[in-house]
Amino acid sequence: MATPGLTTEGTVRALTSWSDDERMFRDAVRQFARKEIGPKVRSMDESGLFEPALLKQAFELGLMGIEIPEDYGGQGGTFVQALIAIEELAAVDPSASVIVDVQNTLVNNAVVRWGNEEQKRRWLPRLATDTCASYALSEAGAGSDAFALSTRAVQDGDAFVLTGRKLWITNAYEAGLYLLFATVDPEAGYKGITCFVLERSAAGFKVGKKEDKLGIRASSTCELILDGVRVPRTDVLGEVGKGYKIAIETLNEGRIGIGAQMTGLASGALSHAISYAKQRKQFGKSISEFQGVQMDLARMATDVETARLLVYNAARLREAGQPFLKEAAMAKYWASQVAETVASRAVEIFGGVGFTKDYPVEKFYRDAKIGRIYEGTSNMQMLTIAKQILA
C-alpha cells in the first residue's frame, strides 16, 4: 500500500482523508462493532467476560490477523488498517479493542518480524484464524522498569525450563499462545532477556487469578504461573538474549495502538454526548443550544481530532520506514489524556444520569483511566519525548 501524505522531507502532512480501501475497511469494522458488539457491551462489562462468539466473529472477519501476510492465512493488510480497526472497536467497546490491539500490534507483529520461516508456518495461521494470543512481559517488580524480570529460563539440553510469575497480562484468559519474556542470566541485565512462544497446554503452566478491574472489564487481565515449564529451543523467538529488542520495538509500535484505542474511546464518548445534548431539554430548549454546552463539545471535538492526527501521523511514519519513537510517545500520551478528559466531560453533559450505568458514558470514563498506565505510563512517555527533543 502506498503511504499517503509522506513528504520528501520524511514528515507526514495532516491526514485529511482515507483511501478507498481504508474507508471500506473502516465501515465494515464500524458495522460489526455497532451491530454485533454494541448490544452486548453492558452484559460483558458486568460479567467481566468477553463473549467467545464475538471473538470467533472477529477471527472470521480477519480482525485478528490484519497484517499477517496472505501466505500465512492473514489479511495482508497494513498497520494503518490495524489502527483503524482498533479505533472503531474502541468507539463502541474499548475492551474489544484491547483484544484486537494486543493480537495485532504486539504478538502478530513480533512473530512476523522475528520469527523464522518454520515458526511463521507454525504460528501465524493459528493467530490469523482461531488462536488468541497474549503478550507476557510485566511482573510484580517489572512495570515501568520493564526489564527487571525475575522469571528465569534455565537451559537444559535442547530446551529451557521456565519458572516464575507474570502479572497483569492482557488476553491471558482467552489466549492459546503466549509471547513470554524471561531472563536466561539475571546478572546480564537486559542482555539476558529472551522471548519464548509458549503453548497454553504446556506442562507446569497455569493461568492464575483474573483481575477484577475498574474498566475494560471484558478484556481479561490475569497472572501467569510457570512451574518448571519446559520450552524447546525451537520456540525461542529471535535470538537468546535479544528479547529486549523485540520488547522495545513492539512496544514502541504498540503505543500507537493504545493511542488509536484511546482516540476511539474519546470519539465514542463524544458521539454519545452530542446525541444526548440534542435530545435533552431544559428551560424549553435542547441543551445543545446553550453556549456553555457548545463550547464543551467544541473543545472535546478538537481534542479528539488532534489525538487522531497524532496517532495516524506516527502510523504513516512507521509504514514509511521513518523514525517514529517521539511521535508514538506523543500519540500515546496525548490520546490517553484526551480520552480521560473527553469521557469526563461527556458524563457532565449527561448530568446526573451520566453517573449511572443506564447510559454508556460512565463506562467510557472508567475505561479511559488505563490509557495513562499500560504500555508505558504518561510519565514514561513524557520522558521519552523529552529525550528525543533534547538529543
Whether residues 83 and 164 share a domain: the answer is no
Question: Alpha-carbon distance 270 to 347, whole Å?
Answer: 10
Nearest to residue 277, comparing CAs of 353, 183, 356?
Answer: 353
Confirm whether 1 is domain-assigned.
no
* Mean pLDDT for the stretch of residues 66-95: 98
CATH code at 178?
2.40.110.10
Whether residues 163 and 51 share a domain: the answer is no
Structural domain of 114 = 20-132
- Could you tell me the end-to-end alpha-carbon distance of the chain, in angstroms, rounded to an integer? 33
- Residue 10 Ramachandran class (φ > 0 left, ψ -120 to 50 alpha, else beta): left
* Mean pLDDT for the stretch of residues 242-252: 95
Q: Do the beta carbons of residue 247 and residue 137 sit within 8 Å? A: yes
Confirm whether 344 is domain-assigned.
yes
**What integer pLDDT is reported at residue 147 of this predicted model?**
80
Q: How confident is the model at residue 17 (pLDDT cuts 50, 70, 90)?
A: low
Selecting among 67, 88, 174, 375, the annotated active-site residue is 375
| Residue 6 or residue 68, greater confidence | 68
The question of whether 319 is a catalytic residue gets the answer no
Of all residues in the chain, the percent with pLDDT exceeding 90 is: 93
Q: Count Cβ atoms below 10 Å from residue 374 Cβ, excluding itself.
A: 19
Nearest to residue 260, comparing CAs of 161, 196, 332?
Answer: 332
**What integer pLDDT is reported at residue 227 of this predicted model?**
98
- Please provide the average confidence, as pLDDT, over all residues in the chain: 94
Which residues in 89-172 belong to E strands, given as ranges?
A: 133-136, 152-156, 159-170
Confirm whether 11 is domain-assigned.
no
Question: Alpha-carbon distance 59 to 153, whole Å?
Answer: 32
**What integer pLDDT is reported at residue 209 of this predicted model?**
96
CATH code at 87?
1.10.540.10
